[in-house]
Each structure stands twice: as C-alpha cells, then as structure tokens.
Chain A
Amino acid sequence: MATLKEVQSKISSVKKTKQITSAMKMVATSRLRGAQNAMEAFKPYASKFAEVLGSIAGKSGEDASPLLVPREEVKKVAVLLCTSDRGLCGGFNINLIEKAEKLIQNELEGKEVSLVCFGKKGRDWAKKTPTPIDDAVIGVMGGRIEFNIASTSGQALIDSFLTGAVDEVYLIYSEFQSMATQVPTLKQILPIPSLSDMVEEEAEAPADGEFLPEHICEPSSDALLGEMLPKNVFIQIYDALLQTTTSEHAARMRAMENATKACEDMVEELQTIFNKTRQAGITADLMDIVGGAEALKG
C-alpha cells in the first residue's frame, strides 16, 4: 500500500492538472464565443452573395466560365484539409484526418493527389504520408481569420485549376452543427458543381415566392458571373475555415470539460485511499500503545 506522503503528492498533482484543464476550458469557451460571432458576422455577406449570384446565374449558360467545366479525365486532385494548429481537443483532428485518408485511399485511388493544409496538425500528418504538400498555412486557425487568407489560397487553387495543374479540388473541413456535434465534411469546390444545383442549394436565403427582378448588369452578366464565381470559391473556403475554427474550440471545450471531470473523480478516489491509509496508520499506532500498556501491567 502506498504511503501517506505518496498519496498526498499524487492528490496535489492531480489537482494541479485539474486547474490547468479547467482554465483551458474557460479559454476555449471564450474563444468559441469569438469564433461564433465571426461566423454570425459572415452570414449576411454569404447569404446576400448567394442570392445575387443565384439571380444572375440563372441567366448565364453553363459555359459562362471555365471554372464550371468538368475535366473529361481527372488525373490530378488537390485536397484542401482544414485542421487545427493545437491539440488537446479530443478526436477533432483525428476525425478530419481520417476523412482525408479515406478519401485519398478510396475515391481518389490511382490519382495524383496533393494537399493544401490549413493548420499544423494536418500538415504534420501529411508530412508522414507520401502525399506531397502544395501549401501549408500555419498560425491562422483558432484565431481571428482574415478573408484574404481564404482568397489568397483560393486564388492559387483557381490558378492551378485553370492552368491544368489540377483537375479537381476538394475541401475537407469540420462542419459546426452544434456545441456537441461537429461533422467532418467533404465538399467539391472545383470545378464548381453545376449552377442550377448551386442555385437551388444556396438560394434558401430569399423568402419563398420572392421575385428577384431582372438586373441591368454592368459589365455584362457573363462578365459579372466570371468575377463572382472565383469569389464564391473564396467564400466557401472562408466559411470552411470559420466553421473549422469554431468546431475546434467547441471540441476543445468538451475535451477539457471531460478531463476536468476525470480529475475530480480521481481526486475523490485518491482521497478515499488517503483516508484509509491514514486510518490504518492510526489503528496500528493504537495497537502498539495498547500492547505496550498491557505489557507494562503484566
């Protein structure tokens, strides 16, 4: 049986761990609030953009932009993987990486895959795989994300799509559904899935039956569409980054909450052992004294 001193030092070390985990939980909670606000602030822009895009997309043909045209033969694929920079957030990164792993092994088997990594965890994983890393963005996930980060890497992807360096681009990110559920999600961003689907999917914003009037467009509607489509790609990437960051904080909050609870349980258990050990010591001492007294009497 452990000595009193050992148990005591174990208790204080577990208590210290608990302090750290509960502090991390509080930090994650406040960061989560910030990330959620950023997501909320982005919504009006995204939905208005989708509405405007929907209203001009209807007027343009499928060949309005080269970004819409699927390649006949898909050889090279780029996968944009969003993860977090930091750990201690439960299975968050592992789930995202598994999703990427499965995609590369199954759907994209036999194709040349390259990765663009947002977040350190994804990059560290990618380094260990034979898949080449095209680009890695470290130090932005988890904090305040600027739109130009999404547009810079989005532009790079669009450029390599247009030059034929890649034939398809996928996006893997963590969809923030609620505080308790964050789902790793796969989305194709290039070539842009057909316009009519996109309009249906994204034009939820305007109320039912609302009539979107015909616009006078300047420059022509095709030119406008050509300008808006790349931006739509940036918006999707930005949205993915925001959602991943929000999910990361939510996942960390939960992980830290669980860790804090586990610490509490452990302290309780150790306290019982401590008490028992202490009691055993006292009993032994008493026995000694009583035995000694009896001997003296004798």
Chain B
Amino acid sequence: MAEKLFLEVVTPQKAIVSEEAEIVVAPGSEGEFGALKGHTTFLTSLKTGPMRYKDATGKERVLFINGGFCEVLPDKVTVLAESAERRADIDVARAMEAKERAEQRIAQKQADIDLVRAEASLRRALYRLKIAETK
C-alpha cells in the first residue's frame, strides 16, 4: 500500500473533496500529470477535463474540473477550480442541453467572441457527459 497524500478540491461555491488519496491524476495545461506522495512542489494551471484519484480504500474516483490551478506539495495536493463536480453530481440533462445549445451556436457562426465561448461551453458539456458515462 502506497503512502497517502491529502487531496483538497475547492471551488468558490464549496469544498468538493477533502480526503486522503493514493494517487491524483489531473489535467494540467501542459499535459496530464500524476502526483504521488513525495512529489516535488509544483504549481500549474489546469485545463477543463477529468481528474482522477484513488481514495484511501483504493477506489478510483473521477471528478469534472473546469479550469483553475493546482498546487502540489510533497504531502498535499490542492486544486482551486472554477467549478468542479463529482461524477455522481453531474447534471446530465443540463450538460446535454448545454451541448446542443453550443453546437447550434457554433453552427450559426456568429462573431468570434461568441465562437470562443461556445466552444468552451461545448468542451465543458462533452467532458461532463463523458465522465458521467464512465462507470
């Protein structure tokens, strides 16, 4: 059994995760990275995407992370996300709606700013759905 590190995921709305984990895998802006206990101190921005970790009982858990930062210390990982949800908390219906809305907007091809926002929203929706589907 590997040694554990402490994982915290906080958003402006609430703290999502605060527990021990064996390994944490997060979507860094320069690529996905994994952290075990004893990792060197490390700070990175995060992309939208799935974050996985193994909790104290060895069970793998998946979260949806939308942007933010991650600070890795030898015995602690802190994720500051703009929004984050555990897999069970993902609102599939809402994500479906968001996906359709975003697809429509992209199809209409309005001004550039809208396109960027629609793409970001589509990306969020797709990741949410993908994470919700995995068992």
Which A residues are closer than 8 A to B by beta carbons? 38, 41-42, 44-46, 48-49, 52, 55-56, 146-148, 151, 213-219, 221, 224, 227-228, 235, 238
Contact = CB atoms under 8 A, between A and B. Distances in A.
Nearest to A46: B12
* Nearest 3 A/B pairs, CB to CB: A215-B43, A218-B44, A147-B12
B36 to A, nearest CB: 16
Contacts of B12: 41-42, 45-46, 147, 235, 238
Contact of B41 (A148, A214, A224): A214
Interface of B: 8, 10-15, 28-30, 40-45, 69, 71, 73, 78, 80, 82-83
Contacts of B41: 213-216
Nearest to B31: A218
Contact of B45 (A38, A216, A219): A219
* B contact patch SS: strand
Contact of A218 (B10, B13, B43): B43
Given A215-B42, A215-B43, A218-B42, A52 B13 contact: no
22 contacts: A41-B13, A44-B10, A45-B10, A45-B11, A46-B12, A48-B10, A48-B78, A48-B80, A52-B43, A52-B80, A214-B41, A215-B41, A215-B71, A216-B41, A216-B43, A218-B29, A219-B30, A224-B43, A224-B44, A224-B45, A224-B69, A238-B12
B51 to A, nearest CB: 16
B120 to A, nearest CB: 12
A216 B83 CA distance: 24
Given A218-B42, A224-B43, A227-B45, A44 B15 contact: yes
Contacts of B78: 48, 52
B15 A218 contact: no
Contacts of A146: 13
A147 B43 contact: no
B80 A45 contact: yes
A56 B43 contact: yes
B10 A217 contact: no
Contact of A41 (B14, B30, B71): B14
Contacts of A227: 45
Contacts of B29: 218-219
A216 B15 contact: no
A38 B15 CA distance: 11
Contacts of B82: 147-148, 151
A243 to B, nearest CB: 14
Given A52-B80, A216-B41, 12 more contacts: A41-B12, A48-B78, A147-B11, A147-B83, A213-B41, A216-B43, A218-B28, A218-B42, A218-B43, A224-B69, A228-B69, A238-B12
